Structure 1
Amino acid sequence: MSASTPHRPASLSRRAALTGLAAGAGALAVASTTRTAAATPTPPESAAPSVPAATASDPAPGAMRLFADPGFNFAGLLALGAAGMRASEVGEVLTAVNTINAAGLSEQTYTDTFRSWGDRLAAPPAAGRDGRGTPSQTRRFRSLRAAQYYAQALFYVLGTDRPADEEAVYREGRDAWDTFARLCTPAAVTATVPWGRTRLPLWFFRPDGPAERRPTVILTNGSDGQNVDMWTYGVSAALDRGWNALVYDGPGQGQLLFVEEIPFTTRWETVVRPIVDWLLRREDVDGDRIALTGLSMGGNLAPRAAAFEHRLAAVAAMPGCLSPWLGFDEELRAIVTPDKAETNRVWNEEVVPELTPQLAFTVKKRFEIFDRQALRQAREGKVLTDLWTPAQVAIGLDITEVVGRIKAPTLVLDYDFEQFYPGQPRQMYELLRTRREYVKLTKATGAQLHCSPMAPQQHCDVVFDWLADVLRR
């Protein structure tokens, strides 16, 4: 089917693949070996074993089944897996899961339940036995868990009867995150750097100890993740190794999306460049050892930045993603043609009227990140009426033609049963012209599915062991 040919999806069941829209919330010697986490080396130029994406009949192969729906199950696994980094509590997550299932799984029950948990933990805990107040360590990690639960609620709030609460839920999670960052030892440094007409917020975490120049990791989120995910997939691991870690919100993320309504840009190098400038002015940063990682759709953004920002010493794409647009259902992509008017006619007259409430939610969630009008309509409880405009941004994120410009050593992660970008990590690896490594995390060790939701500790071991090798003096 030609992408330039307007197409009416044949049936709703064919459009059910919309539930697999592009991801977002979200490791070693190079060129000579390909390793899995379980890991028997194989020649890197040989074809990687073909592992199909998870299917509707088996949405999470080998994974714990928390919810019958694969999308909700994936979100729940992310919350559960974060417990290893103290960004959730197993008992709290499973209690929330039981509550949701008992009430009937829906965007409403999921949002209400996790938001309630966020409220409970964000409130200052009771005073200690001595009556002098609660130790800051207790409030610190309660706040981190609250940020996790608000992030869970935030993902699904557009599918509830109060979609206009999206900004409020974001702010609740942001307050919890800021409380956590402030109570770290030492407290995270907060700052902003210029980007266009606005400024990007950032949080700079340092190990406790004497000031010295250290390796620093810039952690790039994806299209759905919140700052708490960067703790789980990088900050904690960096601090454990005596490194600095920087978390930031770019366009289409965090504050810029949910408060300022600024969607994604196709030129992520303009986002990373002022962050590198800021780091190079610090006396506790080793300017020759700055690495950049990208989680989920960040596995597209970070390589794009590295193709043009050559002050980076290492890059990790987790997973490698050449084109987020290819993560969208083929039937939906076929609707988008060079003709804006015809694209939107087919969309509004032939597709939108047949969307189920759940598919309507998915569409709202996946396109709000690419277009301000789509975001505003979603908050009004409406499906976007202009599909063509945000689709151009998603299409414009394709980095196939620029990956070969990356100079820094690059790690490309892949996962058994990668749901969103199957095949793309290996394709990215093949296009690299620098020191490179391809690693697939596997079902054998419980690290399958996009971003290894059940195994973030294992994920960080792979990534940071590779970074340590590359950044070693």
Structure 2
Amino acid sequence: MRDVSGESTHTPTRRSALAGLVGGAGAVLAAGCSWSGATSASVPTPGSATPSGAAGDPTPGVMTLFEDPAFNFNGLLALGSSGAGAGEVGEVLTAVNAINKAGLSSQSYVETFRKLGDQLMAAPEGSAADDQTTRLRALRAAQYYGQALFFVLGSDDPGSEEQLYKSGRGAWDKFCDLCDPAPVKTNVPYGKTPLPVWFFRPDESEQRRPTVILTNGSDGQNVDMWTYGVPAALNRGWNALVYDGPGQGQLLFVDQVTFTPTWEKVVSPLVDWLVARSDVDTEKIALTGLSMAGDLAPRAAAFEDRLAAVVAMPGCLTPWLGFPPEVREILTPNKEETNTVWNEEVVPELSAADAATLKKRFEPFSAQAMLDAREGKMFTDFYTPARAVEALDITDVVSRIKMPALVLDYEFEQFYPGQARQMFDKLTSPKDYVKLTAATGAQLHCSPMAPQQHCEVVFDWLDETLSGQ
């Protein structure tokens, strides 16, 4: 970056650029990454009439629920989950209208979706709810609590983060308990903190079945693994394993265990647990990774040879590149220098919204950063979590993968643009590449508006790939 002042690069000009990029892009908050080719100013207002083929417009017309792309992306995830029962179109759109009427902010978003979750967990008006109604309401509540959780650090009550997570987890567990059959719930050993798992089966027979391990990304909740795989697996006669790993769910928000770069040490105990079961076809265990887990799952597959197939959704080699360059350039080899720049030059220039963005982005990589954020404070050690993100780079290990691999990509991929194709090119095992597009409404990171299409692509490929084994 050119220094117009003639001084060192650590100047107010640089800090202003950082604040403008982080705050304006908005979608930095959505997955630790900048919005590629779109800012808040370029996104049409809700309901605006935009030609469906407008170049460079990832969410034309009614696809824009909120002006800010970070909120819009999350709103689209909630809306898209309706196809799997993890949302209701009318509930989501009514919430969107209420938020826009109140004035879009983290506070209005959190309040609206938390209230909706609370309503669904309470008894409905009229007749008493039977188990089926209670189950389905709990699933939608888990989604809405997850929506609130995502923005709670920017609200007036960041300290409620753990309790809000527990509300969503309680809704998820109630849903699971009322499924038929209910998933097997247990803890799989992992270091000092076991991994919570939910093992879904089409029935309670001892039939050996192909099994998919569904891996969440950064900031995803268990309900997202329902939307992106469990029903698709069950409907095809597969088992599906959902779990919380380091930096996710219970391990992050309660146990304060952050992400690890050696994800094979997370997946291998899960495979150990599966191969000990009589209802698992041990020759047909597949691993998928959604969002940032498009980095985690391939990393595990590079070292866990018992897997029969791996799917990266999307392919991601270097999560650190998902952060804007103005954020990345803060990090230097020297911890003291890095943190001095962070605390003295960057943090004082951040708006409240920008600060909330960065608190959210770094909390899965630093327990202290998370605890500080819950107290309404900005973390002071930028160096440690930044290095943790940097350590997730898998560029040099992808070639070790031996099993068949599917790499997904998305038109208007806003978080890891170009990385899916780069991963595909580096793979040396049998491989396929599929790009989901705006032609069928499947654009954007993880196809938030088309998770059913997404699952069709993934499970058709898995069925075909493992059918001959």
Partner of 2:219: 224
Among 4, 15, 21, the residue aligned to 2:28: 21
Change over 3 Å in CA distance of 1:429–1:22 after alignment to 2: farther
* TM-score, normalised by the number of residues in structure 2: 0.91
Q: Distance in 1 between matches of 2:29 and 2:72?
A: 16
Partner of 2:73: 74
Give 1:117's aligned amino acid: L
Give 2:28's aligned amino acid: L
Give 1:377's aligned amino acid: D
Give 2:38's aligned amino acid: T
Kindly indicate whether the alpha-carbon contact (under 8 Å) linking 2:10 and 2:345 is maintained by their aligned counterparts in 1: no
Any idea what SS the aligned residue of 1:413 has?
strand
Change over 3 Å in CA distance of 1:352–1:165 after alignment to 2: same
Residues 235-274 of structure 1: matches in 2 within 5 Å? 235-274=230-269
Task: Report deviation, 1:6.
Answer: 6.0
Any idea what SS the aligned residue of 1:465 has?
helix
Give 1:120's aligned amino acid: Q
Partner of 2:136: 141
Aligned residues, how many? 442
Among 374, 379, 394, the residue aligned to 1:379: 374
Change over 3 Å in CA distance of 1:23–1:279 after alignment to 2: farther
Among 169, 186, 191, the residue aligned to 1:196: 191
Task: Report deviation, 1:242.
Answer: 1.1
Any idea what SS the aligned residue of 2:332 has?
coil
Q: Distance in 2 between matches of 1:245 and 1:472?
A: 17
**Cα deviation digits, residues 323-376 of structure 1 (max 9, x gap):** 110000101101100011111111111111111111111000000000111011
Among 315, 339, 344, the residue aligned to 1:344: 339
Partner of 1:7: 10
Partner of 1:85: 84
Task: Report deviation, 1:25.
Answer: 9.5
Change over 3 Å in CA distance of 1:155–1:270 after alignment to 2: same
Report whether the alignment pairs 1:367 with 2:367.
Answer: no
Partner of 1:439: 434
Report whether the alignment pairs 1:185 with 2:180.
Answer: yes
Task: Report deviation, 1:90.
Answer: 0.3
Kindly indicate whether the alpha-carbon contact (under 8 Å) linking 1:62 and 1:443 is maintained by their aligned counterparts in 2: no
Give 1:329's aligned amino acid: P
Kindly indicate whether the alpha-carbon contact (under 8 Å) linking 1:373 and 1:384 is maintained by their aligned counterparts in 2: yes
Partner of 2:53: none
Give 2:101's aligned amino acid: A
Kindly indicate whether the alpha-carbon contact (under 8 Å) linking 2:359 and 2:379 is maintained by their aligned counterparts in 1: yes
Kindly indicate whether the alpha-carbon contact (under 8 Å) linking 2:264 and 2:299 is maintained by their aligned counterparts in 1: yes
User: RMSD of the TM alignment (CA)?
Assistant: 1.8
Task: Report deviation, 1:14.
Answer: 4.6
Any idea what SS the aligned residue of 1:153 has?
helix
Partner of 2:405: 410
Among 288, 302, 324, the residue aligned to 1:329: 324
Give 1:80's aligned amino acid: L
Any idea what SS the aligned residue of 2:14 has?
coil
Kindly indicate whether the alpha-carbon contact (under 8 Å) linking 1:193 and 1:199 is maintained by their aligned counterparts in 2: yes
Kindly indicate whether the alpha-carbon contact (under 8 Å) linking 2:32 and 2:361 is maintained by their aligned counterparts in 1: no
Q: Distance in 2 between matches of 1:99 and 1:20?
A: 21
Task: Report deviation, 1:137.
Answer: 1.0
Report whether the alignment pairs 1:106 with 2:105.
Answer: yes
Kindly indicate whether the alpha-carbon contact (under 8 Å) linking 1:325 and 1:394 is maintained by their aligned counterparts in 2: yes
* Fraction of identical pairs, as percent: 64
Any idea what SS the aligned residue of 1:335 has?
coil
Q: Distance in 2 between matches of 1:53 and 1:366?
A: 17
Among 35, 58, 61, the residue aligned to 1:61: 58
Change over 3 Å in CA distance of 1:450–1:54 after alignment to 2: farther
Q: Distance in 2 between matches of 1:14 and 1:192?
A: 42
Kindly indicate whether the alpha-carbon contact (under 8 Å) linking 1:263 and 1:371 is maintained by their aligned counterparts in 2: yes
Q: Distance in 1 between matches of 2:206 and 2:120?
A: 33
Among 302, 306, 320, the residue aligned to 1:311: 306
**Cα deviation digits, residues 5-47 of structure 1 (max 9, x gap):** 9634535355333234386499xxxxxxxxxxxxxxxxxxxxx
Q: Distance in 2 between matches of 1:53 and 1:437?
A: 25
Q: Distance in 1 between matches of 2:29 and 2:71?
A: 15
Report whether the alignment pairs 1:119 with 2:118.
Answer: yes
Give 2:435's aligned amino acid: K
Q: Distance in 2 between matches of 1:213 and 1:6?
A: 61
Kindly indicate whether the alpha-carbon contact (under 8 Å) linking 2:15 and 2:346 is maintained by their aligned counterparts in 1: no
Task: Report deviation, 1:322.
Answer: 0.4
Q: Distance in 2 between matches of 1:90 and 1:13?
A: 38
Give 2:334's aligned amino acid: D
Q: Distance in 2 between matches of 1:117 and 1:393?
A: 35
Q: Distance in 2 between matches of 1:358 and 1:151?
A: 19
Kindly indicate whether the alpha-carbon contact (under 8 Å) linking 2:19 and 2:349 is maintained by their aligned counterparts in 1: no
Task: Report deviation, 1:62.
Answer: 3.6
Higher relative contact order (CA 8 A, sep 6+): 1
Q: Distance in 2 between matches of 1:180 and 1:20?
A: 30
Q: Distance in 2 between matches of 1:441 and 1:16?
A: 31
Change over 3 Å in CA distance of 1:127–1:199 after alignment to 2: farther
Structure 1 residue runs without a partner (length 5+): 27-51
Q: Distance in 2 between matches of 1:390 and 1:98?
A: 37
* TM-score, normalised by the number of residues in structure 1: 0.90
Partner of 2:95: 96
Give 2:103's aligned amino acid: G
Any idea what SS the aligned residue of 1:68 has?
coil
Kindly indicate whether the alpha-carbon contact (under 8 Å) linking 2:29 and 2:360 is maintained by their aligned counterparts in 1: no
**Cα deviation digits, residues 233-255 of structure 1 (max 9, x gap):** 00011011111000000010000
Q: Distance in 1 between matches of 2:30 and 2:105?
A: 20
Any idea what SS the aligned residue of 2:402 has?
coil
